[in-house]
């Protein structure tokens, strides 16, 4: 027998086992009951979706507008279903803002792309002595390992995988599993190798591996086998369907996209946007029990021509994607178990530069957070009338955002991880959950 | 042409210092035109790597493999290599005084058979010192050494460690057939003269100095050229360090500058450069002392800044040029220039008090006045003296390269807070290394000829406790298994499969393919050069890449030119063909059990053996036995 038998009992084994022990309950009925419970269980599992705005989004034009200020720019604020106003180019999102809140008093110091990416993902500033885990890896470590039925990785990054978003000292088993927004997984395709041929290969591999494992050469051979087992499970898992966004109905696909055209799958920006497709995949992954999904949306480094870029290109995609995701999760009863976080590496200068662009700015900007049972429709903190400083006294760090998410995910805040050199590290860098968001 | 100085102005420099470890900086805004580090430009730069004098796998001759030719001998060898019946070959330690040298050996390491030709001859007193020192350690700790590795196990290891790839099937066969009693020493000599040695250590030191992903505005080609020339000429290591620390000029004309450029990615007043220089070349970790006195080592915060003050005269200049096709400014070359700086540097104590630090190297003060080239002074101080840290750090790292663990863990954190596990041996080797004129090849000769390096990686009952992976101090009573580096894995796959010969021609294309694969591999592995890893730290994407990636696919697809196609089309019976496949991938013959297993698959294949060979080859390439150095 192959040592690569996938984990868990086969259905037939289960049925046979059951027939021998639980004769009083009709077996099949019992199974369907178990299955229903499993589905219920998955629904109640907590997850987090991070929308990562790579490049640094101009939050002054999206979540915290400054009408009347010289820094205000071209856009007007509109009212929403929540207790705050947002950009006029986010009309669909405005309709779901009762579920989402904006933290308007971020002040994060790091205004370099690399350092900002690291700081916002991990809660820690870069340090040459240690590589910190991104929050996705922390969730993978804390929640993923407990989900035995999960055959696909616990931290999936759609279009991401940048430096500073990795597992750090938590080890490669908590690394983001990077896929593109078409759900393409590099090298997961069997390229015409049949199931029986794969079986023979794995059988042959198994015996070579066993030979090495039993040669008194330490533990490494065994770890190799385990990684291969995971990879094989992944290649053959039913849960891989979660990556197949094309299985969704054209109507659903269309809702995630700014253009009302759902038949152009795989056509880049021609049909459904990469971001929208990524969010839809994120929803499917969360439904399959994946606890952390990051969706990367690039193109925010708007040093030039910020307003045209926003209203013609970026905001329509953002607006369609966020509103469709929130609506979908709500309809499926999953919103209260799914934390949604929206952030980039920093905001952008309130001052509009000579190229009608905005540059890097970390002193006063916004992030968005909602779902997962957190309070929606709230603006936390505020900036001054020109947007150049936090005016509310208290300002927030990424650790506070992640502490809020940890709270919603049920990860205890006194969790401490230890670096390879024995240095204790508090989860979310010891940040505090934002009290305005906790009901 | 636009010049972009990335060094802060003198007057305000202390304000921005301290960004690195403790994050005291304020919001820094408006870095226009910054491009993300992780973007495609990197890949493009990687692929520009030009073939160099010794970058070619000159000694690879897999196409000359002759399946079947050596069949009579192979049969005899195979029995000797079958696991349980494996005998320990001669373990006599040769010495200058041949009569006395071996007789003091404890009975258990005495030759178990009279099998000839496995001695790592070493009439060298340094090798004897290593042997005696380690044996003392075994005795003191009540462990016994594992038996000698057989030729097949040993040759694979020594190829991977010195030339960075596995031996071809032919090289394994030739070595096993060689009857010379000193063949192991002879092979060590031959490999040190092989271009693969230069290539391997160039790769290692390039990765250590600038990382596996080339940072912006750094020339990987330039860095490789510096090390390639240095290792090819066997330049004294202290001279190479001198050049790296004091480098100035154009990043391709003087490739040594790339070490400095790679540490100047942040505008941090040389903080990163200070930390990396001490760690890499002196085996000292001082990063933490940037902000506070170190809790466990003797470094104090002012010493960090004293050291840092040597690097304040570095000026990095990034040049741009006009791209005639697009009309835009694009990156041209970068260079390291001298910046006028004199006097002390300022730093902030935790209490908020400002302090000054002058250029002082381990107690030796350097003139802080104008016109003194501090880096040259530092380079002189670092690379001279009786037993400078530069020598000890290099010896420790080199030992770790061959044995998987150095005398300290990690290899680059030495000092009273983290004492060496064998100070007498480390000191002696360092002294001898200095006396040899910092001769890298001589150092390798000593280490690779040591008795401990010739042992098997199989543990025995009596050395079970010698398990550094479980946190124990390494005693080197058996070889510790270590994973291949990305480059070793790629180059070994090429030796085993000839996959690069299928379809694409030319060195340039092969090199491009190699760089592409390595980039993907580095991403899939997310390797971190800060942590030594003894276990398998692979990822699912890496396993997928090995199972289904194009390189493996081409290797088993029977494309013309591939190793598998040639073996299967060649002469020889089934067993001989299987032998060649095992030798090509695992550098050993199949065991009797493995042959029986293969026959079982063959008998159920309906007469078509080709797919059975293909699947077997696939399994061997994907095995733990292949991917580990043991």
Min Cα–Cα distance to chain B from A301, Å: 9
Verify whether the Cβ–Cβ distance B615 to A235 is below 8 Å: no
What's the burial of A146, exposed, middle or buried (CB within 10 Å: 0-12/13-18/19+)? exposed
Q: Specify whether the CB–CB gap between A297 and A51 falls below 8 A.
A: yes
- Tell me the residues of chain B between 131 and 170 that have a Cβ less than 8 Å away from chain A: none
Domain that holds residue B337: 3-26+248-382
Q: What is the pLDDT of residue B40?
A: 32
Cβ partners under 8 Å of residue B256, min gap 6: B226, B243, B244, B247
Is residue B378 domain-shared with residue B428, that is, in the same domain? no
Is residue B366 domain-shared with residue B278, that is, in the same domain? yes
Q: What is the pLDDT of residue B362?
A: 87
* Cβ of residue A235 closer than 8 Å to a chain B Cβ: yes
Is residue B343 domain-shared with residue B415, that is, in the same domain? no
Q: How many domains does chain B have?
A: 3
Is residue B494 domain-shared with residue B622, that is, in the same domain? yes
Is residue B339 domain-shared with residue B431, that is, in the same domain? no
Q: Which residues of B touch A230 (CB under 8 A)?
A: 540, 543
Verify whether the Cβ–Cβ distance A204 to B601 is below 8 Å: yes
* Cβ of residue A230 closer than 8 Å to a chain B Cβ: yes
pLDDT per residue as tens digits for the range A385-419 = 999 999 988 999 999 999 999 999 999 999 999 88
- Count how many Cα atoms sit within 13 Å of the Cα of residue B483 in the half-sphere of its side chain: 21
Verify whether the Cβ–Cβ distance B459 to A217 is below 8 Å: yes
Residue of A nearest to B36 (CA): A113
Is residue B535 domain-shared with residue B593, that is, in the same domain? yes
Q: DSSP letters along B51-72, please?
A: P-TTTS-TT--GGG--TTTTHH
What's the burial of B11, exposed, middle or buried (CB within 10 Å: 0-12/13-18/19+)? exposed
Residue of A nearest to B620 (CA): A205
In three-state form (DSSP H/G/I as H, E/B as E, the rest C), the secondary structure along chain A is: CCCCCCCCCCHHHHHHHHHHHCCCCCHHHHHHHHHHHHHHHHHHCCEEEEEEEECCCCHHHCCCCCCCCCCCCCCCEEECCCCCEEECCCHHHHCCHHHEEEEEEECCCCCCHHHHHHHHHHCCCCECCECCCCHHHHHHHHCHHHCCCCCCCCEEEECCCCCCCCCHHHCHHHCCEEECCCCCCCCCCCCCCCHHHHHHHHHHHHHHHHHHHCCCCCCHHHHHHHHHHHHHHHHHCHHHHHHCHHHCCHHHHHHCCCCCCCCCCCCHHHCCCHHHHHHHHHHHHHHCCCCEEEEEEECCCCCCCHHHHHHHHHHHHHHHHHHHHHHHHHHCCCHHHEEEEEEECCEECCCCCCCCCCCEECCCEEEEEEECCCCCCCEECCECCCCCCECCCCCECHHHHHHHHHHHHCCCCCCEEECCCCCEEEHHHHCCCCHHHCC
* Cβ of residue A184 closer than 8 Å to a chain B Cβ: no
* Cβ of residue A27 closer than 8 Å to a chain B Cβ: no
Report the percent of chain B where pLDDT is more than 70: 75
The shortest CB-CB distance from A131 to any of B528, B534, B616 is to B528
Residue B105 lies in a domain: no
Which residues of chain B carry a pLDDT beneath 50?
A: 1-121, 525-536
* Cβ of residue B625 closer than 8 Å to a chain A Cβ: yes
Residue B459 lies in a domain: no
Q: Specify whether the CB–CB gap between B24 and B347 falls below 8 A.
A: no
* Cβ of residue A351 closer than 8 Å to a chain B Cβ: no
- In degrees and rounded to multiples of 5, residue B112 shows phi and psi of -90, -25
Is residue B353 domain-shared with residue B334, that is, in the same domain? yes
Is residue B621 domain-shared with residue B499, that is, in the same domain? yes
- Tell me the residues of chain B between 376 and 395 that have a Cβ less than 8 Å away from chain A: none
How far is residue A175's CA from residue A164's CA, in Å, rounded to a whole number? 11
Verify whether the Cβ–Cβ distance A209 to B25 is below 8 Å: no
Q: Which residues of A touch B535 (CB under 8 A)?
A: 219-220, 223
Residue B227 lies in a domain: no
Residue B233 lies in a domain: no
Is residue B521 domain-shared with residue B575, that is, in the same domain? yes
Min Cα–Cα distance to chain B from A260, Å: 32
Q: DSSP letters along B389-405, please?
A: HHHHHHHHHHHHHHHSS
The shortest CB-CB distance from B526 to any of A153, A166, A234 is to A166
* Cβ of residue A107 closer than 8 Å to a chain B Cβ: yes
* Cβ of residue B611 closer than 8 Å to a chain A Cβ: yes
Residue of A nearest to B550 (CA): A187
Verify whether the Cβ–Cβ distance A221 to B628 is below 8 Å: yes
How far is residue B367's CA from residue B374's CA, in Å, rounded to a whole number? 8
Residue B598 lies in a domain: yes
Which tokens sit at A55? 């490049």
Residue that finishes a domain, picked among B344, B361, B382:
B382
3-class secondary structure, B361: strand
Interface with chain A: mutation pick from B540, B546, B558, highest number of A CBs within 10 Å: B540
* Cβ of residue B523 closer than 8 Å to a chain A Cβ: yes
Q: Which residues of B touch A153 (CB under 8 A)?
A: 540
Cβ partners under 8 Å of residue A398, min gap 6: A108, A119, A120, A121, A122, A123, A343, A428, A429, A431
CB atoms within 10 A of CB B622: 23
Q: To the nearest whole number, what is the mean pLDDT of chain A?
A: 86
Q: How many CB pairs under 8 A join A and B?
A: 204
Is residue B611 domain-shared with residue B500, that is, in the same domain? yes
Residue B585 lies in a domain: yes
Interface with chain B: mutation pick from A162, A185, A205, highest number of B CBs within 10 Å: A205
Min Cα–Cα distance to chain B from A107, Å: 8
Q: What is the pLDDT of residue B573?
A: 93
* Cβ of residue B1 closer than 8 Å to a chain A Cβ: no
The shortest CB-CB distance from A208 to any of B553, B620, B630 is to B620
The shortest CB-CB distance from B630 to any of A125, A208, A217 is to A217
- Tell me the residues of chain B between 271 and 290 that have a Cβ less than 8 Å away from chain A: 272, 275-276, 285, 287-288
Residue B155 lies in a domain: no
- Count how many Cα atoms sit within 13 Å of the Cα of residue B544 in the half-sphere of its side chain: 23
* Cβ of residue B51 closer than 8 Å to a chain A Cβ: no
Q: What is the pLDDT of residue A41?
A: 55
Verify whether the Cβ–Cβ distance A127 to B542 is below 8 Å: no
Residue B49 lies in a domain: no
Is residue B271 domain-shared with residue B347, that is, in the same domain? yes
| Greatest distance between any 2 Cα atoms in chain B | 86
Q: What is the pLDDT of residue B524?
A: 52
Q: What is the pLDDT of residue A23?
A: 38
Q: Which residues of B touch A129 (CB under 8 A)?
A: 21, 285, 287-288
Min Cα–Cα distance to chain A from B619, Å: 4
Interface with chain B: mutation pick from A228, A235, A346, highest number of B CBs within 10 Å: A228
Comparing CA positions, the residue from B481, B456, B454, B484 lying closest to residue B467 is: B481
Q: Which residues of B touch A220 (CB under 8 A)?
A: 469, 481, 483, 534-536, 624, 628
One pLDDT digit (tens) per residue for chain A, 439 residues: 344 443 433 333 333 333 333 333 333 344 444 444 555 556 569 999 999 999 999 999 999 999 999 999 999 999 999 999 999 999 999 999 999 999 999 999 898 888 899 999 999 998 766 789 999 999 999 999 889 888 889 999 998 878 788 888 887 778 888 888 888 788 888 778 888 889 999 999 999 999 999 999 988 888 889 889 888 888 888 898 999 998 999 889 899 988 654 333 333 333 568 899 999 999 999 999 999 999 999 999 999 999 999 999 999 999 999 999 999 999 999 999 999 999 999 999 999 999 999 999 999 999 999 999 999 999 999 999 999 999 988 999 999 999 999 999 999 999 999 887 678 899 999 999 999 999 7
Is residue B294 domain-shared with residue B398, that is, in the same domain? no
């Amino acid at each position: 027998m192959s040592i690569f038998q996938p984990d868990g009992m086969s259905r037939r084994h289960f049925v046979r086992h059951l027939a021998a022990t639980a004769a009083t309950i009709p077996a099949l009925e019992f199974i369907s009951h178990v299955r229903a419970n499993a589905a219920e269980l998955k629904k109640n599992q907590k997850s987090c979706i991070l929308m990562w705005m790579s490049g640094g989004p101009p939050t002054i034009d999206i979540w915290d507008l400054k009408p009347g200020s010289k820094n205000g720019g071209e856009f007007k604020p509109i009212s929403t279903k929540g207790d705050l106003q947002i950009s006029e180019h986010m009309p669909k999102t405005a309709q779901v803002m009762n579920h989402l809140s904006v933290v308007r008093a971020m002040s994060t110091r790091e205004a370099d792309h690399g350092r900002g990416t690291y700081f916002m993902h991990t809660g820690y500033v870069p340090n040459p002595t240690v590589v910190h885990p991104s929050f996705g890896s922390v969730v993978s470590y804390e929640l993923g390992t407990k989900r035995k039925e999960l055959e696909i990785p616990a931290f999936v990054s759609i279009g991401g995988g940048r430096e500073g978003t990795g597992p750090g000292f938590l080890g490669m088993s908590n690394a983001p599993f990077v896929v593109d927004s078409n759900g393409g997984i590099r090298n997961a395709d069997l390229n015409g190798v049949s199931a029986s041929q794969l079986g023979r290969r794995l059988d042959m591999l198994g015996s070579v591996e066993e030979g090495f494992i039993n040669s008194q050469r330490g533990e490494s051979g065994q770890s190799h086998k385990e990684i291969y087992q995971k990879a094989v499970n992944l290649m053959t898992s039913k849960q891989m369907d979660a990556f197949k966004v094309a299985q969704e109905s054209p109507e659903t696909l269309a809702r995630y996209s700014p253009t009302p055209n759902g038949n152009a799958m795989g056509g880049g920006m021609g049909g459904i946007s990469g971001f929208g497709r990524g969010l839809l995949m994120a929803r499917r992954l969360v439904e399959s029990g994946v606890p952390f999904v990051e969706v990367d949306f690039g193109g925010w480094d708007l040093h030039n021509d910020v307003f045209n870029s926003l209203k013609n290109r970026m905001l329509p995609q953002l607006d369609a994607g966020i509103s469709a995701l929130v609506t979908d999760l709500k309809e499926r009863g999953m919103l209260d178990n799914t934390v949604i976080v929206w952030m980039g590496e920093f905001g952008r200068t309130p001052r509009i530069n000579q190229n009608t662009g905005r540059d890097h700015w970390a002193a006063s900007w916004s992030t968005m957070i909602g779902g997962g049972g957190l309070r929606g429709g709230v603006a936390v903190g505020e900036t001054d009338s020109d947007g150049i400083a936090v005016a509310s006294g208290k300002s927030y760090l990424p650790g506070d955002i992640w502490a809020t998410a940890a709270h919603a995910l049920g990860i205890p805040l006194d969790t401490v991880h230890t670096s390879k050199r024995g240095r204790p590290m508090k989860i979310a860098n010891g940040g505090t959950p934002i009290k305005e968001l906790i009901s | 042409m636009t010049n972009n100085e990335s060094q802060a102005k003198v007057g305000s420099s202390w304000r921005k210092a301290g960004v690195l470890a403790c994050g005291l900086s304020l919001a820094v805004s408006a870095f226009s035109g910054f491009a993300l580090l992780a973007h495609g430009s990197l890949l493009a730069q990687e692929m520009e790597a030009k073939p160099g004098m010794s970058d070619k796998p000159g000694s690879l001759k897999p196409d000359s493999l002759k399946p079947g030719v050596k069949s009579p001998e192979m049969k005899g060898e195979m029995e000797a290599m079958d696991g349980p019946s494996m005998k320990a070959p001669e373990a006599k330690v040769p010495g200058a005084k041949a009569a006395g040298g071996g007789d003091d050996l404890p009975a258990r390491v005495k030759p178990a058979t009279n099998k000839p030709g496995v001695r790592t001859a070493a009439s060298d007193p340094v090798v004897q010192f290593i042997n005696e020192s380690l044996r003392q350690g075994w005795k003191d700790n009540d462990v016994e050494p594992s038996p000698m590795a057989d030729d097949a196990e040993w040759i694979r290891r020594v190829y991977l460690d010195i030339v960075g790839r596995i031996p071809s099937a032919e090289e394994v066969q030739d070595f096993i057939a060689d009857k010379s009693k000193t063949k192991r020493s002879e092979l060590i000599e031959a490999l040190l003269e092989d271009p693969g040695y230069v290539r391997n250590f160039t790769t290692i030191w390039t990765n250590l100095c600038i990382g596996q992903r080339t940072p912006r505005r750094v020339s990987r080609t330039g860095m490789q050229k510096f090390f390639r020339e240095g290792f090819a000429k066997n330049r004294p290591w202290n001279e190479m360090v001198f050049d790296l620390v004091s480098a100035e000029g154009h990043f391709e004309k003087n490739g040594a500058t790339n070490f400095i450029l790679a540490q100047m990615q942040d505008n941090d007043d040389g903080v990163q450069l200070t930390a990396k220089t001490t760690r890499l070349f002196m085996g000292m970790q001082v990063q933490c002392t940037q902000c506070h006195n170190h809790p466990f080592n003797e470094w104090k915060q002012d010493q960090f800044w004293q050291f840092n003050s040597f690097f304040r005269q570095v000026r990095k200049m990034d040049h741009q040029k006009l791209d005639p096709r697009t009309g835009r400014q694009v990156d041209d070359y970068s260079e390291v220039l001298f910046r006028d700086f004199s006097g002390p540097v300022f730093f902030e104590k935790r209490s908020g008090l400002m302090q000054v630090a002058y250029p002082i190297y381990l107690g030796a003060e350097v003139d802080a006045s104008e016109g003194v080239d501090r880096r040259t002074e530092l380079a002189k101080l670092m690379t001279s003296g009786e037993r400078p840290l530069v020598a000890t750090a290099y010896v420790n790292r080199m030992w770790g390269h061959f044995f998987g663990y150095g005398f300290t863990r990690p290899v680059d954190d030495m000092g009273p807070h983290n004492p060496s596990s064998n100070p007498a041996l480390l000191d002696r080797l360092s002294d001898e290394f200095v006396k040899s004129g910092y001769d890298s090849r001589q150092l390798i000769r000593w280490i690779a000829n040591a008795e401990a390096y010739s042992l098997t990686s199989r543990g025995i009952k009596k050395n079970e406790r010698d398990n550094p992976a479980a946190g124990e101090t390494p005693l080197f009573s058996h070889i510790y298994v270590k994973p291949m580096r990305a480059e070793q894995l790629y180059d070994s796959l090429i030796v085993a499969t000839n996959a690069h010969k299928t379809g694409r021609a030319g060195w340039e294309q092969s090199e491009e393919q190699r760089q592409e694969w390595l980039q993907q591999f580095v991403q899939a592995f997310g390797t971190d050069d800060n942590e030594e890893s003894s276990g398998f730290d692979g990822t699912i994407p890496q396993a997928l890449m090995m199972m289904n990636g194009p390189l493996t696919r081409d290797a088993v697809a029977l494309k013309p030119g591939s190793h598998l196609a040639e073996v299967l089309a060649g002469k020889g019976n089934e067993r001989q063909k299987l032998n060649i496949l095992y030798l090509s991938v695992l550098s050993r013959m199949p065991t009797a059990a493995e042959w029986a297993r293969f026959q079982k698959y063959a008998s159920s294949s309906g007469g078509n053996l080709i797919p059975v060979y293909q699947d077997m080859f696939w399994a061997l390439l994907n095995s733990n036995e292949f991917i580990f150095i043991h």
